[in-house]
């Protein structure tokens, strides 16, 4: 598929457990879209806006204590600002948007792993963080232990919660995929090139 045959912009969210490779795959996807003559906007959550980056610093600071409820509201605020400030204008201008993390992460990390009411969290996200809605929410599925081995180095506040927490996150992500029509699970095992090709195929399907 080329931009000539289908100029419609696509909004893609890449998500998964920590260490799943979403940042690498977001970069690879943007590279592939550029080769097709498109101008993708690469974003990250929380972040990419002034407000989002400040909230990110608080949310990921190991010295800051936050409950899952407060985290949910802060992630939602950062996302709402991102959608208004960057995502909607880009789509209106005909640009594809590739975002690292989104509603799947909030559902998995805060609702399921954080033991909040999943339906209440979904209601919040649907009310405040669903317009414009992604064309595709792609969850990169990988063994939690393998993902942990990939990370190495220093861990932020979320990553410090341990493997059992990440296993609950993985369960939450799988549950989210079952509950959402535009959410898909993608096998993230294999080489970077192999996974990148799978991601691109899913994006092309989502574009229609």
Question: Is 22 annotated in some ligand binding site?
Answer: yes
46-52 own/partner pairs: CB under 8 Å, 24+ apart: 46/74, 46/75, 46/78, 46/79, 46/82, 46/101, 47/78, 48/82, 48/86, 49/78, 49/81, 49/82, 49/85, 49/86, 51/77, 51/78, 51/81, 52/78, 52/81, 52/82
Helix and strand tally (H, E) in the chain?
9, 5
Sheet bearing 97-100, strands edge to edge: 41-44, 97-100, 11-16, 136-141, 183-187
pLDDT in tens, 33-71: 999 999 999 999 999 999 999 999 999 999 999 999 999
For the ranges 108-122, 126-140, 150-164, which has the lowest average pLDDT? 150-164
Domain residue spans in the chain? 11-207
Strand-pair partners of 139: 15, 185
- List CB contacts of 50: < 8 A, sequence separation 6 or more: none
pTM above 0.85, yes or no: yes
pLDDT at 154 over 60: no
Reported as a pLDDT band with limits 50, 70 and 90, residue 147 is confident
pLDDT at 76 over 70: yes
Question: Is 18 annotated in some ligand binding site?
Answer: yes
Question: Is 131 annotated in some ligand binding site?
Answer: no
pLDDT score, position 4: 44
Question: Is 47 annotated in some ligand binding site?
Answer: no
Question: Is 19 annotated in some ligand binding site?
Answer: yes
pLDDT in tens, 85-100: 999 999 999 999 999 9
Query: What is the helix (H) or strand (E) element at residue 15, kind and residue range?
Result: strand 11-16
- The CATH classification number of 11-207 equals 3.40.50.300
* Alpha helix (H) residue ranges in 36-162: 50-59, 68-82, 88-92, 103-105, 118-128, 144-151
Strand-pair partners of 185: 139
Q: Which residue has the tokens 């927490």?
A: 165
Question: Is 119 annotated in some ligand binding site?
Answer: no
Question: Is 23 annotated in some ligand binding site?
Answer: yes
pLDDT at 5 over 60: no
């Amino acid at each position: 598929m080329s931009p000539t045959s289908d100029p419609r912009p696509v909004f893609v969210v890449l998500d998964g457990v920590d260490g799943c490779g979403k940042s690498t795959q977001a970069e690879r996807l943007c590279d592939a879209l550029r080769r097709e003559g498109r101008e993708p906007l690469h974003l990250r959550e929380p972040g990419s806006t002034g407000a989002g980056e400040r909230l990110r610093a608080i949310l990921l600071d190991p010295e800051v204590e936050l409950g899952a409820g407060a985290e949910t509201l802060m992630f939602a605020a950062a996302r709402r600002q991102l959608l208004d400030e960057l995502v909607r204008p880009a789509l209106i201008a005909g640009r594809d948007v590739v975002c690292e993390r989104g509603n799947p992460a909030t559902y998995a990390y805060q609702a399921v792993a954080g033991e909040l009411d999943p339906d209440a969290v979904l209601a919040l996200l649907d009310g405040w963080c669903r317009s414009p809605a992604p064309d595709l929410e792609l969850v990169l599925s990988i063994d939690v232990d393998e993902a942990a081995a990939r990370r190495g180095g220093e861990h932020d506040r979320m990553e410090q919660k341990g493997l059992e927490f990440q296993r609950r996150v993985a369960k939450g992500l799988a549950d989210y995929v079952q509950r959402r029509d535009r959410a898909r699970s993608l096998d993230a095992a294999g080489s970077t090139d192999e996974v990148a090709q799978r991601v691109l195929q899913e994006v092309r399907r989502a574009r229609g």
